[in-house]
Amino acid sequence: MNLRLELTRFLSLGYVLSSSFMFWMGLSLFTDCHSPIVVVLSGSMEPAFQRGDILFLWNRNEKNNVGDVVVYEVAGKSIPIVHRVLKQHYDRSTGEQLLLTKGDNNNGDDVPLYARGNYYLNKTKDVVGTVKGYIPQLGYVTIWISENKYAKFGLLGLLALSSLISSED
């Protein structure tokens, strides 16, 4: 057991963690969006987006156009929703914008998903970001890990095993 070696290892671990945290926060600042990269969790936008697709968001736009795909969060519901803007009403004097959204694969619009008594979303309050970029399927790993307990333990086991192996050389 070499104390210096262990400390160096600890330091490099800290370096990896802090640099990924800084990357995420930097991206978050740059896009003005609290989660600039999201994974699609539902099939309501098929065939455009499937479960597991990765989306890159941008939130520095003042207003959205009809046809934009936005990610929004409804107060009191934890899961963000990715749907397309169907209607928009923008007030140039106050800068406020009301949006109505709909999933491409759904029959009706999103009013039943909104907070009780709301018939529109508020751009500044509810919208997390507008989808700008797309990579298919790569995010399925995160869904798999979060929904399958064997995958979770398997991954932990693999990590433990690799740390054992690497400490031998």
Partner 1 sequence: MFSLNQRFQHVSSLALSCSFLVIALIAATSWLQLVKDNVFELESQLSHIRSATRFAKQKRYGGSAVNPTEVSKIRFNADFDFSRLFNWNTKQVFAYVTAEYEGDENPHTMNEITIWDKIIPSRDNATFTLSDIDAKYQLWDLESKITERPLTFKLHWNIQPWFGFLINGETTGSKTIELKKPVDKQKGK
Does the annotation mark 83 as catalytic?
yes
Please, what is the minimum distance in Å from the beta carbon of residue 119 to partner 1? 6
CA-based R_g, the chain, Å = 21
121 exposure class (CB count in 10 Å sphere: 0-12, 13-18, 19+): buried
Please, what is the minimum distance in Å from the beta carbon of residue 78 to partner 1? 26
Is residue 165 involved in binding partner 1 (CB under 8 A)?
yes
Residues 6+ apart with CB under 8 A from 73: 80, 81, 126, 128
Closest by CA to 32, choosing from 127, 121, 163, is: 127
Residue 129 β-bridge partners: 71
Residues 46-85, one symbol each (x = binds partner 1 by CB under 8 A, - = not), give -xxx---------------xxxxx--------------x-
Span from 30-38, 75-83, 126-134, 150-158 in contact with partner 1 (CB under 8 A): 126-134
165 exposure class (CB count in 10 Å sphere: 0-12, 13-18, 19+): exposed
Query: Rounded to 10 degrees, what is the CA torsion of 81, 69, 136, 30?
Result: -90
Please, what is the minimum distance in Å from the beta carbon of residue 88 to partner 1? 5
Which of the following is catalytic: 12, 44, 104, 167? 44
Is residue 111 involved in binding partner 1 (CB under 8 A)?
yes
Is residue 141 involved in binding partner 1 (CB under 8 A)?
no
Q: Which residues bind partner 1 (CB under 8 A)?
A: 47-49, 65-69, 84, 86-94, 98, 104, 111, 119, 131-136, 162, 165-166, 169
Catalytic residues: 44, 83, 110
